[in-house]
Amino acid sequence: MLNPIVTSEFANARQRLIVRPATDRIALVGRVRIPGDKSISHRALMLGALAEGETTIEGLLLGEDPRSTAACFRALGAEISELNTERVTVRGIGIGNLKEPANLLDAGNSGTTLRLMLGILASHPNRFFTITGDDSLRSRPMGRVVKPLSIMGAQIWGRRDNTLAPLAVNGQVLKPIHYRSPIASAQVKSCILLAGLATEGATTVTEPALSRDHSERMLRAFGAEVIVDPETISATVMGPAKLTGQAVIVPGDISSAAFWLVAAAIVPGSDLTIENVGINPTRTGILDVLLQMGANITLENERDAAGEPVADLRVRYGPLQGCEIGGAIIPRLVDEIPILAVAAAVAQGKTIIRDAEELRVKESDRLAVMAAALQKMGAQVTEQSDGMEITGPATLQGAEVDSHTDHRIAMSLAIAALVAQGETVIDRAEAAAISYPDFVPTLERLTASPI
């Protein structure tokens, strides 16, 4: 009997994922369900905690990042039921009513937890909070939210001139601002809007390009007055606001679907339907780019789930061509660039990714880590200060590579390994559980039956 395509070894909570080539042996066929959207899961827990009354959440992502958010908001006084995908209930305590926790809040690996929570905490007068995170999060820039919050009157202290966690927050009554953000970041935008909830007047954020708008949609659904101006790319929240508990349905995460979209597009013979994928236009840059590269993707069963558009995505194998990616599309696919780099490595011709310097301050430096791993696997990749230039098609070779404990790197390299020659070992693959706890079992299932 042939070796299975996917096996793994655990030692000291560290997973080495071993992936053997799938080409010629299997194709990815059938249907796959992906976990709930990470961004929407965080926001549902946070707004549920700030609302009055009960919020129910269906389809919550059970990854480590939303678990960090739930743990923080429990420590802040919200009652959150045991986490599961069927139905989580949050008994909110109302804006301004969070209690002062007796200990450090721990955001783990999650930038969204830390940055969004800062806006909420900074606007809670007469309370003192301390927040930390893991090694990766403690090295990520927090000045981008500390600065605008400070203009609103927040008191926040931290290492390196108040830009690195651990951070200490002395909650204040804030002033509204109109903040012109130098970066298109939903975490920055959401942090300021959340601070605006408790702040008298209009708090506005203008972005250089539109980032994901889940906060604006969900704040409205919970009863806040949110004004969006697409012309100026700005969002305003009117404070003080009152939120009322809602029934939230979390769609599948297109950022998790992205791994199967690319896998099925590059493994010959594949025909895979990914069910229940959120297709909010601020997140669908990956579809635009894959279609431009010639991928065979169709949207089926388009519908609405509690204010977010959803569809099933059918993807069939077909040759890909290189393309150029830059400008306003970047925030619409910012988390998908590692897996797009895999598609580009095996596509015909040159792919140029630019304006993506934000990748350097994600869970790892995703430009450096992805370029190095793909080079090790034999791809022609040149790292640029703000992106990558990739010339394909490469015949990838199995290699020993490392996730750098970055979930999206771990999963992207596992997909690259499916089309490599020989065995690939991905070290620290346990990182996938941050956003996709079932990634490895799903990969095992999809690669289990030979054609």
CB of 361 to ligand S3P, least distance (A): 8
* Catalytic (active site) residue 24: no
Distance of CA 79 to the CA centre of its chain: 25
E strands, 264-421, in order: 271-278, 296-305, 308-316, 324-325, 349-353, 380-384, 387-392, 400-402
- Contact 394/419 with Cβ under 8 angstroms? no
Q: Binding to ligand S3P (CB under 6 A): which residues in 333-372?
A: 334-335, 358
112 touches ligand S3P by CB under 6 A: yes
Structure tokens at 150: 């400070």
Q: Check: CB of residue 144 under 8 Å from CB of residue 166.
A: no
Asked if 68 touches ligand S3P (CB under 6 A), the answer is: no
Residue 312 tokens, joined: 């099933």
The verdict on 190 binding ligand S3P (CB under 6 A) reads: yes
Of 181-189, 396-404, 420-428, 436-444, the segment contacting ligand S3P by CB under 6 A is 181-189
Which one among 185, 204, 280, 442 touches ligand S3P, defined by CB under 6 A? 185
Least distance (Å) between residue 179 CB and ligand S3P: 14
* Minimal distance, residue 381 CB to ligand S3P, in Å: 21
| Catalytic residue (one of 253, 312, 335, 402) | 335
CA angle 321, 369, 267 (to 5 degrees): 35
Please report, as residue ranges, which positions from 206 to 225 form the binding site for ligand S3P (by CB under 6 A): 211-212
For ligand S3P (CB under 6 A), the number of binding residues is: 12
Smallest distance, ligand S3P to C-beta of residue 280, A: 12
Quote the least distance from Cβ 27 to ligand S3P, whole Å: 30
Q: How far apart are CA 258 and CA 385, in angstroms?
A: 24
Three-class SS state of 342: helix
45 is a site residue for ligand S3P (CB under 6 A): no
Short-list 47, 35, 95, 110, CA closest to 307: 47
Question: Given candidates 172, 187, 204, 270, which one binds ligand S3P under the rule CB under 6 A?
Answer: 187
Q: How far is the CB of 333 from ligand S3P (least distance, A)?
A: 10
Nearer to ligand S3P, 212 or 404 (CB): 212
- Report CA torsion sign: 429, 436, 316, 329: negative
Q: Give the C-alpha separation, 37 to 119, whole Å.
A: 21
Q: Are 62 and 69 in contact (CB under 8 A)?
A: no
User: From residue 265 to residue 284, what is the string marking binding to ligand S3P with x (rule CB under 6 A)?
Assistant: --------------------
Positions marked catalytic: 335
The residues binding ligand S3P (CB under 6 A) are 39, 42, 112, 185-187, 190, 211-212, 334-335, 358
